[in-house]
């Protein structure tokens, strides 16, 4: 008998596809029209082992790349509001326009210079094409600025060389060289010594440009600018259209970073667009591969699918314990200002800033979040006086950051619908009303809410949860329901330790006095209730204070077996005995409702 051939492990290889498992069929779409991206030959790449341990330099291009992509470009007032927001957040490099494109951008640049709106540590950047008249107009817009950069670009990709410019590689390189020389000449002629002047060059469509040619053009530009200590050049390598995986994008950056001859004097900048939906990953991997600087827009505004999202990038760093060096602590103010300036709404699922990103509807998620908050509070308490949750490392399931760190409250963390469970409902009651329901009571009340959502559909708000809870367990005395309404009670203890309880109550609309004896006031009250035909037995009891100080309230929870039903009741009072008696009444009335 032939021994069975051992099964080889498939770790690291695709799982074999058989006729039984391959159910997908050809799409019929014209895939023949598209070619794959070219891989980079860099077998000793080092970027996969790198980590981002400090913030890169940031440039916001909201006022240029973001603005030019709007259906309704920003008015001067909206531009100014966006500029002021970026300054408040801490951006030190801001691309403020394309001044040679028309009077609107030119006048805006002049206004922020002449009105003293630019802090001395903020560098404004302006974009220009490589034509002499445009370069002159661009440099004129910067007169009087304290710190300014001219950003010159020309397309270098084969399709542009062949279709748009109909020029050779040498022709395209000469455009970049001549443009750089003209920028230097007009800067020397127009700008005074008060201006700290910088230069940035972008080989547009870098992602489609041959690497060796992109390097050749960048080196030629550097030969003109002559970067050295104290005289950097910014070489910006834009994914004008995102073409490849982020890993290939990183390979291209590592290749360029290795081959630039004056690398120590070059600020290597990344400018990803989001055509494939991976701009954030492309930017992060480019930083790991050697890039020093990221250009993008708040919330990913920009042409087509947008520029890389500076908010997501910064908050990704923050969530890993790396200071982004940008202030996102008032995320809703940032979002509102962006929505006003761009006249475009931020999606409710947008990372870190959307209305729903810190919200859980799923019951299992809500339960885990509640337990996470409880565990952090317990951990802080165990570490001693003066230690708060804010002193601990954040560890709440499903919440990558503490919503409070970006100015959000916890109110919207748990929202209840038909998919929710006991954890979310319990969280709302504890967080909003200081009621820490026992687990079995959580289950009981969640069924009541579930019935409500099944019947009515949609979301149940925290206010509706509280209203339903009050109606079920804590009816208003002025509109009370149920057989028994407690007015007062007095307990005495004999020498044997047994309590006699005398209760004044309204039973079925009639004032009456009930008396009972037992091992404690609750046991005595159960005996007293037998006089009106209510047979109740205690199953569980728990209590907790709801606040501190002389006026603190206590919440008592009682689980009872009443005439064959198992029900919970709750009572709230400054006196723990009265709170427990109210809890018994709550359960009794629910049993006879």
Question: Which alpha helices (DSSP H) does 267-362 contain, by range?
Answer: 279-288, 310-319, 331-342
Note the pLDDT tens digit of each residue in 80-128.
999 999 999 999 999 999 999 999 999 999 999 999 999 999 999 999 9
Give the per-residue pLDDT at 44.
Answer: 97
The pLDDT, as a whole number, for residue 81 is: 97
As a whole number of angstroms, the distance between CA 160 and CA 150 comes to 23
For residue 166, what are the β-bridge partners?
none
- CA separation for the pair 420, 428 (Å, rounded): 12
Q: Which residues pair with 402 in a beta bridge?
A: none
| pLDDT number for residue 572 | 94
The pTM of this model reads: 0.77
As a whole number of angstroms, the distance between CA 359 and CA 367 comes to 13
Q: Which residue has the tokens 């990038």?
A: 313
CA torsion 109-112-114-116 (nearest 10°) is: -150
Strand order in the sheet with 565-573: 536-545, 554-562, 565-573
Residue 246's pLDDT is: 98
293, 271 Cβ separation under 8 angstroms? no
Tokens standing for 352?
Answer: 């870190």
Q: Which residues pair with 149 in a beta bridge?
A: 125, 198
Which token pair is 180? 């750089």
Name residues of the chain where pLDDT drops below 70: 1-15, 411-423, 495
Q: Sketch out the chain's domains with CATH numbers.
A: 49-342 (3.20.20.70), 363-473 (1.10.287.1400), 484-592 (3.30.160.270)
Average pLDDT, the chain: 91
SS3 122: coil
Question: What pLDDT score was predicted for residue 13?
Answer: 67
Q: Which pLDDT does position 414 carry in this prediction?
A: 56
- Phi and psi dihedrals of 584, rounded to 5? -60, -45
Give the annotated binding-site residues: 65, 271, 273, 307
Q: Are 138 and 187 in contact (CB under 8 A)?
A: no
Query: Burial level of 212, CB count in 10 A (0-12/13-18/19+)?
Result: exposed
Using the 8-state DSSP alphabet, how is residue 63 labeled? I
| pLDDT tens sequence across 386-431 | 999 999 999 999 999 999 999 987 766 655 555 555 667 888 888 8
Q: Report the C-alpha gap between 361 and 352 in whole angstroms.
A: 17
Annotated binding site for Mg(2+): 65, 271, 273, 307
In the prediction, which pLDDT does 169 show? 97
Tell me whether residue 556 is exposed, middle or buried, using C-beta atoms within 10 angstroms of its C-beta: 0 to 12, 13 to 18, 19 or more.
buried
| Cβ-Cβ contacts under 8 Å for 203 (sequence gap 6 or more) | 153, 154, 155, 156, 176, 209, 214, 217, 218, 237, 238
Please give the Cα distance from 568 to 445 (Å, whole number): 9
The neighbouring-strand residues paired with 231 are 228
pLDDT of residue 537: 86
> What is the rounded CA–CA span in Å between residue 446 and residue 24?
42
**Which of 317, 266, 314, 308 is closest to 290 using CA atoms?**
266
Q: Residue 1's pLDDT is what?
A: 54
């Amino acid at each position: 008998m032939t021994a069975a051939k051992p099964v080889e492990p498939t770790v690291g290889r695709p799982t074999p596809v058989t006729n039984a498992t391959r159910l997908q069929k050809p799409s019929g779409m014209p895939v023949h029209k598209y070619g794959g991206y070219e891989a980079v030959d860099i077998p000793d790449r080092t970027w996969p082992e790198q980590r981002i341990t400090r913030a890169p330099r940031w440039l916001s291009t909201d006022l240029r790349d973001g603005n030019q992509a709007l259906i309704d470009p920003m008015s001067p007032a909206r531009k100014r509001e966006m500029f002021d927001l970026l300054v408040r957040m801490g951006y030190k490099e801001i691309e403020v326009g394309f001044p040679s494109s028309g009077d609107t951008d030119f006048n805006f640049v002049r206004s922020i210079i002449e009105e003293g709106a630019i802090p001395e540590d903020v560098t404004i950047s302006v974009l220009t094409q490589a034509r002499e008249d445009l370069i002159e107009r661009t440099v004129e817009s910067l007169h009087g600025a304290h710190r300014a950069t001219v950003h010159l670009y020309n397309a270098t990709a084969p399709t542009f060389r062949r279709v748009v410019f109909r020029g050779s590689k040498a022709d395209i390189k000469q455009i970049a060289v001549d443009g750089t020389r003209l920028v230097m000449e007009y800067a020397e002629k127009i700008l005074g010594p008060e201006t700290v002047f910088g230069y940035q060059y972008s080989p547009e469509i870098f992602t489609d440009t041959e690497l060796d040619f992109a390097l050749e053009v960048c080196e030629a530009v550097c030969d003109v600018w002559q970067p050295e200590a104290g005289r950097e050049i910014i070489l910006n390598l834009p994914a004008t259209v995102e073409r490849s995986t982020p890993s290939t994008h990183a390979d291209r950056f590592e290749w360029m970073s290795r081959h630039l001859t004056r690398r120590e004097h070059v600020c290597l900048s990344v400018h990803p667009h989001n055509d494939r939906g991976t701009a954030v990953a492309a930017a992060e991997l480019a930083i790991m591969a050697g890039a020093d600087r990221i250009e993008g827009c708040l919330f990913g505004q920009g042409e087509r699918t947008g520029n890389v999202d500076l908010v997501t990038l910064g908050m990704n760093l923050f969530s890993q314990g790396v200071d982004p060096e940008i202030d996102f602590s008032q995320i809703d103010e940032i979002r509102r200002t962006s929505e006003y300036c761009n006249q475009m709404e931020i999606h409710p699922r947008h990372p870190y800033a959307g209305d729903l990103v810190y919200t859980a509807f799923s019951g299992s998620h809500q339960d885990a979040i509640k337990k996470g908050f409880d565990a952090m509070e317990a951990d802080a308490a165990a570490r001693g006086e003066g230690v708060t949750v804010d002193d601990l490392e954040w560890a709440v399931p499903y919440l990558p950051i503490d919503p409070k760190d970006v100015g959000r409250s916890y109110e919207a963390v748990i929202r209840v619908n038909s998919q929710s469970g006991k954890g979310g409902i319990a969280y709302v009651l504890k967080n909003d009303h200081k009621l820490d329901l026992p687990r079995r009571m959580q289950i009981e009340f969640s069924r009541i809410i579930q019935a409500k959502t099944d019947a009515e559909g949609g979301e149940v708000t925290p206010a509706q949860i509280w209203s339903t809870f009050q109606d079920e367990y804590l009816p208003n005395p002025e509109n009370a329901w149920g057989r028994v309404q407690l007015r007062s009670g007095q307990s005495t203890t004999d020498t044997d330790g047994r309590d006699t309880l005398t209760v004044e109550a309204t039973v079925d609309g009639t004032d009456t006095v009930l008396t009972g004896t037992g091992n404690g006031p609750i046991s005595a009250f159960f005996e007293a209730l037998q006089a009106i035909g209510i047979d109740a037995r205690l199953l569980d009891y728990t209590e907790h204070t709801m606040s501190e100080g002389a006026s603190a309230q206590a919440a008592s929870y009682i689980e009872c077996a009443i005439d064959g039903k198992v029900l919970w009741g709750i009572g709230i009072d400054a006196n723990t005995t009265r709170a427990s008696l109210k809890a018994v009444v709550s359960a009794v009335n629910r049993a006879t409702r």
